[in-house]
Amino acid sequence: MPDLTLLTKLLSTFGDDAPACDASLCLNQRFKAANCHLCADACPVAAITVQGANVRIAPETCVHCGICLHVCPTGVFAAPNQAQADKRLLDAAAPLAGRALELTCPANRQVDRTAAPVEAVVQSGRCLAALSLAELLDLAQPRQRNLWLNDSDCAACPLGQALPVIQETATQANLVLAAWHHPIELRTQITEPDALTTVHRVAVFSGQQPSYSRREFLTFVRHTTTQVMSTVAVEALAPLNPMTGSPQPRGAELSYQRRHLTASVARLGPPPSAAMLTDSLPWVTVQISDACTACSLCARFCPTAAIRWTTQTQTPATDAAAAQPVTTFDLNFIAADCVDCGICQAACPEDAITLPDSVNPAQIGRRQMQTLRQGHLGPCRICTIATDLAVRSTCHVCNMSLTKKRKRLKG
Q: Quick check: is 137 in a domain?
A: yes
Where a domain ends, among 185, 202, 226? Answer: 226
Query: Residues 24, 100: one domain?
Result: no
Q: Quick check: is 237 in a domain?
A: no
Where a domain ends, among 62, 80, 98? Answer: 80
Q: Are strands 147-149 and 101-104 parallel, antiparallel or unpaired?
A: parallel
Query: Residues 153, 206: one domain?
Result: yes
- Taking only the tens place, the pLDDT of each residue in 361-401 is 999 999 999 999 999 999 999 999 999 999 999 999 999 99
Q: Quick check: is 3 in a domain?
A: no
Query: Residues 282, 403: one domain?
Result: yes
Q: Quick check: is 362 in a domain?
A: yes
Model confidence at 14, pLDDT cuts 50, 70, 90, reads low
Q: Quick check: is 124 in a domain?
A: yes
Provide the b/e sequence for 170-187 (b: ≥16 CB within 10 Å).
bbbbbbbbebbebebbbb
- Taking only the tens place, the pLDDT of each residue in 129-152 is 989 999 999 999 888 888 999 999
Sign of the CA dihedral 38, 342, 332, 273?
A: positive
pTM reported for the whole predicted model: 0.84
Q: Quick check: is 249 in a domain?
A: no
Query: Residues 74, 87: one domain?
Result: no
Which pLDDT score, from 0 to 100, does residue 138 have?
94
Based on C-alpha coordinates, what's the Rg of the chain? 25
* Parent domain of 120: 83-226
* 147 Cβ neighbours under 8 A, 6+ residues apart: 101, 102, 103, 136, 139, 140, 184, 185, 186, 187
Query: Residues 109, 151: one domain?
Result: yes
- Taking only the tens place, the pLDDT of each residue in 261-306 is 999 999 999 999 999 998 889 999 999 999 999 999 999 999 999 9
Query: Residues 22, 124: one domain?
Result: no
Tally of domains within the chain: 3
Query: Residues 200, 136: one domain?
Result: yes
The CATH number of the domain where 62 resides is what? Answer: 3.30.70.20
Query: Residues 54, 185: one domain?
Result: no
Q: Quick check: is 255 in a domain?
A: no
Which residues in 44-125 belong to E strands, given as ranges? Answer: 48-51, 54-57, 77-78, 101-104, 113-114, 120-123
Query: Residues 118, 75: one domain?
Result: no
Model confidence at 84, pLDDT cuts 50, 70, 90, reads confident
Residues 105 and 123 sit within 8 Å (Cβ to Cβ): yes
Round the average pLDDT of the chain to a whole number and report it. 84
Distance CA 403, CA 409 (A): 10
Q: Quick check: is 258 in a domain?
A: no
Distance CA 233, CA 238 (A): 11
